[in-house]
Amino acid sequence: MTKGRALKMSAGAKVPAARFLRVWLVVAVSCLAWPAFCGGERAYIDITRPNFEKLPIAIPDFKWQNRREKDLGREMVGTLRKDIEISGFFRQVDPALFPGDAETIGVTEKEVRFDRWKKIDVEFLIRALYEVKGGSLRLEARLFDVVNGKRILGKVFEGRAGDGRAMIHRFVDEVLLTLTGKRGIFETKIAFVQVEGNVKEIHVVDFDGENPVPITRDGSISLSPAWSPDGARMAYVSYLEGSPKIFVLDLLKGSRRLLSGYKGLNIAPAWRPGASELAATLSRKGNPDIYLLTDSGSVRRRLAGSWAIEVSPSWSPDGRRLAYVSGESGSPQIYVLEVEGGEERRITFEGEYNTSPAWSPGGDWIAYSGLTGGSHEIFLIRPDGTDKRRVTRGGGSNESPTWSPDGRMLAFSSTRGGRSAVWITNLDGTESRRLTKMAGSQRLPDWSPYFTDR
């Protein structure tokens, strides 16, 4: 059995108390026999075809092996249905049409009456049963292809009784891997800045808005959370010692260290993919320019600089190019730098205030925030400056876009509901939903990568 992975903050001189913070879990998983699909070896459906339509899926209530913890079963099936909806690939069939209740519907391939499900136009069926013993939970979950009358995925999860949501997230990731050939985002996290009064702290929340967890408790101003490529560390800006400095949290060891505390500004950290380096804006020589730092804080060289301010670096997935904001044209605009050759080019020319570039995981898009019609909106543009597309439309100010690791969604901060909160949307602006529903306001989100300890 694989042990759960925990996030913690240590008790240092600046941290009030030690606290272990569980933000993601690796549960014990085994495959039920179906070797062709258990490992997600090939895509079962093609979601890229132009005429793709959402797949009708049925998700009955879970079956229990004893009658304890019925509320747990309801919570797990609720999480499963929400995850399936968020995935965007499925249309859930109305449970009122199901042929039977949770206790009579089969859970094995021999028991499932595929003919009955076909009559209500179901193509895929998920069945699960669970058992609680003491403080332990065992969950069996299966995905059936109703059209072809066979099981295509089976998983067994074992863990604590409180790990039900994490088990469901893992299972839906496996469902998407099996059906589409691409891993889901259901075990990822989103970091953001929680603002209450004059205090700004870094928090982390599940991709679906559940389990908000404070990462800093400095009682000061903490900004610009930036996940490391493996998700094990987080860089951020803190005013705890007066001027803005960049610190790094080791999310597993619970330690914090100063990365960059040069005279002047130390802001906007961005980890370089595939290297132990970061880009950050420093004003160590007077003007705020973007520098390349080692992960120990040493300056390698200046990357981008002019008479104006250079800020908001964002790396391409291969680490060879850098998108950033410069005011050298007279207003904030997006530029792209070839890191090794030093060539730079401006890619935004429409609008007088374009900021917060975020390079997509596939490298084919850069998302950014642009001022239009008196409010900030989220746009997409190709790295060469072509094919500009608008994502959000009206409804407050929309800023600071960040990509899901599969490249299918964007998170951003928006005031469309009043105070600033973190929202999520598809790339075409559809199916937007509010992620954070906390007191105060939430800003500057940063979506985690896939964690590497699965």
How far is the C-alpha of 254 from the C-alpha of 233, rounded, in Å? Answer: 10
Per CATH, 25-180 and 189-447 having the same topology is answered no
How far is the C-alpha of 386 from the C-alpha of 379, rounded, in Å? Answer: 12
Q: Where are the domains of the chain?
A: 25-180, 189-447
Query: In the prediction, which pLDDT does 31 show?
Result: 57
Query: In the prediction, which pLDDT does 70 show?
Result: 76
Per the structure block, which two tokens stand in for 37? 């699909």
CB-based contact 222:443 (threshold 8 Å): no
Residue 228's contacts (CB-CB under 8 Å, 6 or more residues apart) are 234, 235, 271
Query: In the prediction, which pLDDT does 27 show?
Result: 45
Query: In the prediction, which pLDDT does 64 show?
Result: 81
Query: In the prediction, which pLDDT does 444 show?
Result: 97
For 383: left if phi > 0, alpha if psi spans -120 to 50, otherwise beta; the answer is: alpha
Helix (H, G, I), strand (E, B) or coil at 129: strand
Query: In the prediction, which pLDDT does 1 show?
Result: 33
**Four-way CATH pick for 25-180: 3.40.50.10070, 3.40.640.10, 1.10.3720.10, 3.30.360.10:** 3.40.50.10070
For 17-73, what is each residue's pLDDT tens digit? 223 233 334 345 555 544 444 444 445 676 666 667 889 999 999 988 666 677 888
CB-based contact 335:355 (threshold 8 Å): no
Helix ranges, 155-301 (H): 164-180
CB-based contact 117:125 (threshold 8 Å): yes
Query: In the prediction, which pLDDT does 151 show?
Result: 94
- As its CATH architecture, domain 189-447 has 6 Propeller (2.120)
- CA dihedral (186, 204, 211, 409) positive or negative: negative
Query: In the prediction, which pLDDT does 34 show?
Result: 41
Query: In the prediction, which pLDDT does 317 show?
Result: 97
Max CA distance (Å), the chain: 74
How far is the C-alpha of 230 from the C-alpha of 137, rounded, in Å? Answer: 29
Please list the ranges in the chain whose pLDDT falls under 50: 1-27, 33-42, 454
What's the N-to-C CA distance of the chain in angstroms?
A: 12
Residues in the chain: 454
Secondary structure E strands in 95-238: 124-133, 136-145, 150-160, 189-196, 199-206, 213-214, 222-227, 233-238
How far is the C-alpha of 229 from the C-alpha of 99, rounded, in Å? Answer: 46
CB-based contact 213:203 (threshold 8 Å): yes
Query: In the prediction, which pLDDT does 102 show?
Result: 78
